[in-house]
Amino acid sequence: AQSVSQHNHHVILSEAASLELGCNYSYGGTVNLFWYVQYPGQHLQLLLKYFSGDPLVKGIKGFEAEFIKSKFSFNLRKPSVQWSDTAEYFCALTTDSWGKLQFGAGTQVVVTP
C-alpha cells in the first residue's frame, strides 16, 4: 500500500524567510502528487499538482514543488514567506483512476511578523 510522509509537523519562521517542506512517498508505480493548503478556518485549497512532464511545478501564491522520482520526493518551496502563509500544508498522492487521495500528516507552518 502507498503512503505519504511529511517530515516536519510544525515549522515556525519569520517573514521573508525561505520555506521548504519535505514530502516523501512510497509506491512503486505511477503517482500523481499534490500539495494542498488549509488556512485557519478555511477549506482545503489546491496549491499545485504534478502529473507528468516538467518535474518543477509552479503553483499559486508563489509556491513551487519539485518531483524527484529517484528520491520519491515532492518537496514544496517558497523563497520568501509572508504572514498570510500561516496555514497547514498537506502533501497527497493518487495512484488510481478514481483519484482517491492519500494525505500526509500535514505540516503546521507559522510565519511570525
Partner 1 sequence: GAVVSQHPSRVICKSGTSVKIECRSLDFQATTMFWYRQFPKQSLMLMATSNEGSKATYEQGVEKDKFLINHASLTLSTLTVTSAHPEDSSFYICSARGRGVDTQYFGPGTRLTVL
Instruction: Tell me which residues in 14-73 interact with partner 1 (CB under 8 A).
Output: 32, 36, 42-46, 49, 51
Residues 6+ apart with CB under 8 A from 1: none
Cβ proximity to partner 1: between 36 and 63 the closer is 36
Cβ 16 to partner 1 shortest distance, Å: 28
String of DSSP letters for 60-103: GGG-EEEEEGGGTEEEEEESS--GGG-EEEEEEEE-STT---EE
Q: How many CB atoms lie within 10 A of CB 91?
A: 29
Q: Is 12 in the site for partner 1 (CB under 8 A)?
A: no
Cβ proximity to partner 1: between 17 and 44 the closer is 44
Cα angle 19-105-26, degrees, rounded to a multiple of 5: 95
Q: Which of 28, 29, 40, 99 binds partner 1 (CB under 8 A)?
A: 99
Query: Would you tell me which residues interact with partner 1 (CB under 8 A)?
Result: 32, 36, 42-46, 49, 51, 90, 98-106
